[in-house]
Every structure is written in C-alpha cells, then in structure tokens.
DNA sequence: CTAGTCTATCGTAATTCGACGATAGACTAT
DNA sequence: ATAGTCTATCGTCGAATTACGATAGACTAG
C-alpha cells in the first residue's frame, strides 16, 4: 500500500530508517537497474538514449527503470533538449552503504561469529490458542 | 527437503555480475528484512523467535522473510533445537558494498559531476519502423 | 510550418510479492 | 508416551512489479 514515489524533488522525508534503506535497496534490486547504475558510473557523464541500446530492453521499459531510480533519488535527470542527461546521486546511496559498512566492519573485528546462541528466553507465541 | 542445512551449490554460483548484485539488493529491499539484518547486527548473537516479536508480523511472514534472506545467502540458520540460530554472512554483502563504495569513491574525487553532457551521438531507435 | 529526434506516459497481460491462518515437522521436557 | 515449544511449509488473496507496444509531448532542424 505504501506508494513511495510521486515526488522526486523532496529529499525523501525521513521515514523510519528501515524503510529508507529498504527503499534504496529495492530500487537497486533489478539487474537492469544495476546495469544502468554501472553505466552511469563507468561513463562518468550522463547519457541519454544510449542506455536503451546497452540494456537491450524496450525504450519504454528502460524509461520505467529510470523513473524508479529517479523516484528513489539515486539518479537525477537533467533536461538537455532534445535529450535528458542522467547522472548518479551518490548521496542517496550513503545510508545503505553505511549499513553494509557496519556489517563488514563487524566482521573484520570478528564480532559477528555469534557463539552465545539463543539464551533460554521463552517465546510468547500462541499456536494453540483459540482451540475450542 | 527436511534438512534445512541444504547445500547451496547451485543457487548462487556465478550469474552475471549485475544479477548477482541485484539479487542481494532485492533481498534487502524490504523494511522487515532490513530490520532483521539490523537486529542480527545489533545483538551480534543469533536469535530465534525473538525476531517475530521485534518485527511485529505474523510468525509465518517472518519465517518467509528469513527464508528469502537465507536463499540470498545473507543470513545463515543453524539448528540449535528447539530453536534456530540466525547469523549474518557478511561475505555475501561484499559485491553490493563494493559497488556502492566505488560510487562514493567516485564522488569523493569529484568524478561524477558530469559536465560533458550528451555528445551529439545519434540514437538508433526506430520509432516509426516496422510499418507494414 | 513540417518533419525528425528523444523521452514520458498509458493501457494491458503475465508474473511475482507480501501477508496471513492453518498445519506439519522436529525435537525437549515431564 | 504425552504434551509443549519453536520453525517451516502450504494455500490463498489482493497488491505490486515487469515487460511491451502505442501514443503523446517537447523541443530542433530544415
């Protein structure tokens, strides 16, 4: 039910941090969009219709993927008629990168090899409730 | 398939790199799953049914989210009857983290402020083609 | 003005996702 | 053996995603 776009201008007002990070990851969760980000990263300059050739999908489909990336704030589109110039917005990727960095840091310090496993705490799940 | 420690040889061998990274991002693309990763990171030790309490969804739904995270290789589940101990597998997050790191490094060196925009290259899109 | 180039949007069909309750499985404890 | 605890799976439903062609919009070039 959450419609998390419809406004690509606001800096995505702080929802719950989980939803914020998840939105970034979700926008990156498709091979074609990863491909597009890779292209923008590689070519450093924005490109227009060349993206369509590269990813090998229909123009309307690529446009849709670009819309999703723009809606997530990962990519910005500057109009430079008759083309549109796309570029990356690294700032937007920072929350996700920070989380991943924390995990990898934790690994580097060996803090994640959990040996203290599952203290004997009881769960409050009623699987047998409401049984007449 | 009663054995939950099934070998993951086929699921993630080495697809195209784009698909590999996209699969990681897709698995992280949901608030509940980000929440779970955060819990595992915070508590350092694996937890069982406590996750259900934390995320506030039905047990079957949480199990499904855990299944997705396990299928993506981000989380591992060790059986410690009667519980299952989950822990993070940071190794799996590395490809995505590396890509994000490259973007942020590019920004740090100011390589991403594309000013050379859209060289006058023609696009090979036939919007009027195939008119029988 | 007219034609051409590039992008966004609409409509649609097939597929997948997210959430839930119900149920089955696998042990522990009594 | 019996009951109890925790997790996985099945079946289902509405909602969301993905892909495409067709079409509309916005300029530029001639």
Q: What is the pLDDT of residues A63-85, one digit of tens each?
A: 999 999 999 999 998 887 778 88
> Are the C-beta atoms of residues A19 and A26 closer than 8 Å to each other?
no
- When mean pLDDT is compared across A49-58, A66-75, A93-102, B32-41, the lowest value belongs to A49-58
**Does position A111 have pLDDT exceeding 80, yes or no?**
no
pLDDT band at B80, cuts 50/70/90? confident
The CA–CA distances, whole Å, from B22 to A30, B29, B106 equal 5, 10, 21
Residues of chain B numbered 37-56 and touching chain A (CB < 8 Å): 37-38, 41, 44-50, 52-53
CA of B4 to C1' of D11 (A): 22
Q: Which bases of chain D are contacted by protein, using any atom under 7 A from a CB?
A: 4-11, 15-24, 26-28
Subunit contact B19:A31, Cβ cutoff 8 A: yes
Indicate the angle between helix axes A31-43 and A17-28, nearest 10 degrees.
80
For chain A, the average pLDDT equals 78
Chain A residue numbers touching B16 (CB-CB < 8 A): 31
Residues of chain B contacting residue A112, judged by C-beta atoms under 8 Å apart: 41, 44, 87-88, 90
Between CA B61 and CA B39 the distance in angstroms is 17
- What is chain A's length? 132
In terms of pLDDT, which residue wins out, B130 or A85? A85
Q: In the predicted model, what is the mean pLDDT of residues A30-57?
A: 88
Residues of chain A with Cβ-Cβ distance to B127 below 8 Å are 59
| Pairwise CA distance, residues A69 & A85, whole Å | 14
Mean pLDDT estimate for chain B = 78
The pLDDT score that the predictor gives to residue A48 is 73
The pLDDT score that the predictor gives to residue A115 is: 47
Cβ(A100)–Cβ(B100) under 8 Å? yes
Contacts B88 to A, Cβ<8 Å: 103, 106-107, 112
Q: Choose from A45-49, A78-82, B89-93 the range with maximum mean pLDDT.
A: B89-93
Which residue has better confidence, B115 or A54?
A54
Alpha carbon dihedral A11, A16, A21, A27, in 10-degree steps, equals -70
Q: Which of residues 58-117 of B touch A (CB under 8 A)?
A: 59, 78, 80, 83, 85, 87-88, 90-91, 93-94, 96-97, 99-104, 106-107, 111-117
**What pLDDT sits at residue B129?**
33
Query: What tokens does A131 get?
Result: 């049984």
A32, B56, B123 from B40: Cα distances, Å: 30, 16, 48
pLDDT tens string A82-105: 788 899 999 999 999 999 999 999
The pair phi, psi for residue A78, each rounded to 5°, is: -105, 130
Residue B127 pLDDT > 60: no
- The structure tokens 């991002």 sit at B25
pLDDT given for residue B124 in this prediction: 53
User: CB B41 to CB A104 under 8 A?
Assistant: no
Is residue A121 predicted with pLDDT exceeding 80?
no
The reply to whether A82 has its C-beta less than 7 Å from any atom of strand C is: yes
């Amino acid at each position: 039910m959450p419609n998390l776009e419809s406004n690509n201008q606001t800096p995505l007002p702080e929802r719950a941090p989980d939803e914020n990070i998840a939105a970034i990851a979700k926008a990156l969760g498709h091979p074609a969009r990863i491909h597009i980000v890779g292209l923008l990263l590689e070519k450093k300059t924005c490109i227009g219709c060349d993206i369509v050739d590269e990813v090998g999908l229909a123009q309307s489909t690529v446009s849709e993927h670009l819309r999703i990336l723009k809606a997530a704030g990962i990519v910005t589109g500057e109009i430079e008629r008759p083309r549109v110039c796309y570029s990356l917005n690294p700032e937007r990727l920072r929350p996700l990168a920070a989380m991943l960095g924390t995990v990898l840091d934790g690994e580097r310090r060996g803090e994640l090899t959990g040996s203290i496993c599952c203290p004997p705490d009881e769960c409050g799940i009623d699987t047998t409730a409401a049984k007449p």
